[in-house]
């Protein structure tokens, strides 16, 4: 059997506030296969973003482990090649146009060649923004900014996409369009998707829906 794209075992995380200890994650296990889409819901403050940060290698658990493709190397250099990230607030560089924002993901890997430039243009076409390639983020709508962020996340042909409330700043119609686009792009690229969302309808579109409750992850 092939190693899963992502495997998390026994993840625990707590935060201290004075003399108090808040146990946010109490032993989370998760395996995600190649091309699989998984949604994670939970109440505000349930630890969804904390969990996603651990899965993406942005933070370390107090206990437990995360591996990508069978390797526990989740450092920054491997992260740039292995996974793409999409956030609620887009995080586009305001001084760069849409095309340069997409290329930024490849610049991190140091391989900005003709093939990379062609891929950036192709991805902008896939998200419907080729004609707006040279617009700055300030000249784009919220939905268009998130489409640029989707293209950037896929730029390095990652095996895994992690998305943290990607429709949180969008109206219902635009949010629905972005979710459908995200799922379609990941499916076409055979990239696994972990989608953190409070939106039950969006969560239900994933192949597997999970619920984070009292620090434990289980079926929704």
Residue 143 to residue 145: CA distance in whole angstroms: 5
DSSP 166: T
CA 59 to chain centre: 15
Query: Is the pLDDT score of 2 beyond 80?
Result: no
Q: Which fold has domain 6-219?
A: Rossmann fold (3.40.50)
The length of the chain is 220
Q: Which long-range contacts (CB under 8 A, 24 or more apart) does 168-176 make?
A: 168/88, 168/198, 169/88, 169/89, 169/90, 169/142, 170/142, 170/143, 170/146, 174/141, 174/142, 174/143, 175/199, 175/202, 176/201, 176/202
Binned at pLDDT 50, 70 and 90, residue 44 comes out as confident
Interval 125-141: pLDDT, tens: 999 999 999 999 999 99
pTM over 0.85: yes
Domain ranges of the chain: 6-219
Q: Supply the mean pLDDT for the chain.
A: 95
């Amino acid at each position: 059997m092939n190693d899963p794209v992502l495997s998390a075992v026994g993840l625990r995380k707590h935060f201290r506030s004075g003399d108090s200890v808040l146990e946010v994650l109490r032993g989370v296990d998760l395996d995600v296969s190649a091309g699989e889409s998984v949604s994670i819901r939970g109440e505000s403050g349930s630890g969804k973003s904390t969990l996603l940060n651990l899965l993406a290698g942005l933070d370390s658990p107090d206990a437990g482990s995360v591996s990508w493709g069978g390797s526990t190397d989740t450092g920054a250099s491997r992260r740039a090649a292995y996974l793409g990230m999409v956030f609620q607030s887009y995080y586009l560089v305001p001084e760069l146009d849409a095309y340069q924002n997409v290329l930024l993901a490849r610049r991190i890997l140091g391989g900005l060649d003709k093939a990379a430039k062609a891929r950036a243009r192709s991805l902008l076409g896939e998200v419907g923004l080729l004609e707006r390639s040279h617009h700055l983020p300030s000249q784009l709508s919220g939905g268009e900014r998130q489409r640029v962020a989707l293209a950037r996340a896929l730029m390095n042909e990652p095996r895994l996409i992690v998305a943290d409330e990607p429709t949180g700043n969008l109206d219902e119609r635009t949010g629905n369009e972005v979710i459908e686009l995200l799922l379609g792009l990941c499916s076409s690229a055979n990239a696994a998707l972990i989608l953190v969302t409070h939106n039950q309808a969006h969560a239900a579109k994933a192949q597997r829906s999970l619920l984070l409750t009292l620090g434990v992850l289980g079926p929704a």
